[in-house]
Amino acid sequence: MSKSLYRAELASFKPYVQGKPIEAVQREYGLTRIEKLASNENQYGPSPKALEAIQAELSGLNFYPESYPPELVQAMADYLGAGADQITLGNGGEGIIWQISMAFLNAGDEIIVSDPTFDVYKISAALLGGVTVKVPLKDRHYDIDGILGKLSPRTKLVYLCTPNNPTGHIATKPEIDRLLSRLPDDVILVLDEAYYEFAAASPEYPADSIALLKTRPNIIVLRSFSKIYGLAGLRFGYALSSPEIAVRLGMVRQTFAVNRLAHAAARGALEDTEYRDRVVKENSAALKRLNEYFDANGWACFPSYANFVFVDTGLDSRDVFEELQKRGVIVRPGHLWGWDTWLRVSTGTEEQMRFFTEKMDEVISALT
């Protein structure tokens, strides 16, 4: 009798599709200039202080990292105004999401996500037999009543991504308050703030998620060093939670999930106030440029609080994606989320934004 060798969930499993890498497009089209505006990466280069710290750490690479380097964790706790025992370090924010799924989900348990949102919540739950319940956005905002209406005895996690990927919109304070006021204590609200620092400067952003943790034990806040510190290639993310949850998240983590260079870089980056401020400023300027260009074309967009804009060109996103790619610009087509005429375009330098708008003009002429 033959047995099924692989995990049952793999039969219908759909892994994450990454934004097309520059090298792949280079090979395919033989282009000399390619701008990748597809994965919400920081286009301003990594934090210089992180780079210095990495250099200093290189000669220690023959040793395993410390699982929780106390100086780093304490520096983060001081910076964030939280306790060191509330912090979980992860192999990127994505690593944290996998840890959350592993720590909370049994087969058949449910997670509630909005639609569209970051796919990894669903993917990591699916591997464990978790069921994802999707609640579409309503009038381009989170449908809080819709989310509450989907709560069931099997609900373990509710994800709110703010700013949301791919739309860039945020959950407002009244929305979060309303959700929390009716959320049972045995359901965890995960606030994914991977793009937090870009949004925090906006007066509309409810930048008090860490304060919320002091009032409610059933919240996890997730953040990342990939975006704001330009360290996507290194993989460093973290969660803030109650100490009790942090212990469980730590239990399911690979022992050396976060490497030595990432630890060193994180310490350097945290001190890089100048770089952080510059990135936020450059990003605002790039958002303004993109929005002006989209407005001039009469295309609707979500107001973005992150480092990308979700825009409706009215054309098939697959065609626009292909035509842009042929000309050396990689974006993320909206059909991946079922938004067939939308594109997600990451911000970049003034020069990159100019290149993008020039190529976009050519594509529109070619397609209309």
Cα radius of gyration (the chain) = 21
Instruction: Closer to ligand PLP by CB, 104 or 196: give it.
Output: 196
Select the residue interacting with ligand PLP from 161, 261, 269, 324 (CB under 6 A).
161
Give the binding-site size for ligand PLP (rule: CB under 6 A): 13
Q: Is 118 in the site for ligand PLP (CB under 6 A)?
A: yes
Task: Work out how close the CB of 187 gets to ligand PLP at its nearest, in angstroms, rounded to a whole number.
Answer: 20
Select the residue interacting with ligand PLP from 194, 245, 301, 336 (CB under 6 A).
194
The candidate with the shortest Cα–Cα distance to 119, out of 162, 170, 179, 159, is: 159
Task: Work out how close the CB of 41 gets to ligand PLP at its nearest, in angstroms, rounded to a whole number.
Answer: 9
Instruction: Point out which span in 3-11, 149-157, 224-232, 336-344 binds ligand PLP (CB under 6 A).
Output: 224-232
Q: Residue 298 class from Cβ within 10 Å (0-12 exposed, 13-18 middle, 19+ buried)?
A: exposed
> What's the rounded Cα separation, in Å, for the pair 244 and 246?
5
In Å, how far are 20, 290, 325 from 34, measured between CA atoms?
11, 18, 8
Q: Is 38 in the site for ligand PLP (CB under 6 A)?
A: no
Q: Is 232 in the site for ligand PLP (CB under 6 A)?
A: yes
Q: Is 224 in the site for ligand PLP (CB under 6 A)?
A: yes
How big is the CA angle at 261 (ends 55 and 50), to the nearest 5 degrees? 60
Residue matched to tokens 């996998």: 98
Instruction: Point out which span in 91-99, 204-212, 249-257, 261-269 binds ligand PLP (CB under 6 A).
Output: 91-99
Task: Work out how close the CB of 167 gets to ligand PLP at its nearest, in angstroms, rounded to a whole number.
Answer: 11
The candidate with the shortest Cα–Cα distance to 249, out of 325, 311, 157, 180, is: 157
Asked if 176 contacts 144 with a C-beta cutoff of 8 angstroms, the reply is no
SS3 of residue 90 by DSSP: strand
Q: Is 159 in the site for ligand PLP (CB under 6 A)?
A: no
Asked if 105 contacts 111 with a C-beta cutoff of 8 angstroms, the reply is yes
Residue matched to tokens 């842009």: 324
Task: Work out how close the CB of 40 gets to ligand PLP at its nearest, in angstroms, rounded to a whole number.
Answer: 5
Asked if 86 contacts 241 with a C-beta cutoff of 8 angstroms, the reply is yes
Tell me which DSSP letter residue 139 carries.
Answer: T
Select the residue interacting with ligand PLP from 43, 165, 313, 325 (CB under 6 A).
165
Q: Is 92 in the site for ligand PLP (CB under 6 A)?
A: yes
What is the total residue count of the chain? 368
Instruction: Closer to ligand PLP by CB, 226 or 242: give it.
Output: 226
> What's the rounded Cα separation, in Å, for the pair 208 and 110?
27
Instruction: Closer to ligand PLP by CB, 134 or 326: give it.
Output: 134
Q: Is 323 in the site for ligand PLP (CB under 6 A)?
A: no
Q: Is 123 in the site for ligand PLP (CB under 6 A)?
A: no
Instruction: Closer to ligand PLP by CB, 118 or 363: give it.
Output: 118
Longest CA–CA span in the chain (Å) reads 66
> What's the rounded Cα separation, in Å, for the pair 233 and 231?
5
The candidate with the shortest Cα–Cα distance to 44, out of 331, 278, 233, is: 278
Instruction: Closer to ligand PLP by CB, 82 or 239: give it.
Output: 239
Residue matched to tokens 């969660």: 239
Instruction: Closer to ligand PLP by CB, 165 or 341: give it.
Output: 165
Select the residue interacting with ligand PLP from 46, 93, 168, 206 (CB under 6 A).
93
Q: Is 237 in the site for ligand PLP (CB under 6 A)?
A: yes
Q: Is 346 in the site for ligand PLP (CB under 6 A)?
A: no
Task: Work out how close the CB of 247 gets to ligand PLP at its nearest, in angstroms, rounded to a whole number.
Answer: 22
Q: Is 40 in the site for ligand PLP (CB under 6 A)?
A: yes
> What's the rounded Cα separation, in Å, for the pair 332 and 310?
9
Binding site for ligand PLP (CB under 6 A): 40, 92-94, 118, 161, 165, 192, 194, 224, 226, 232, 237
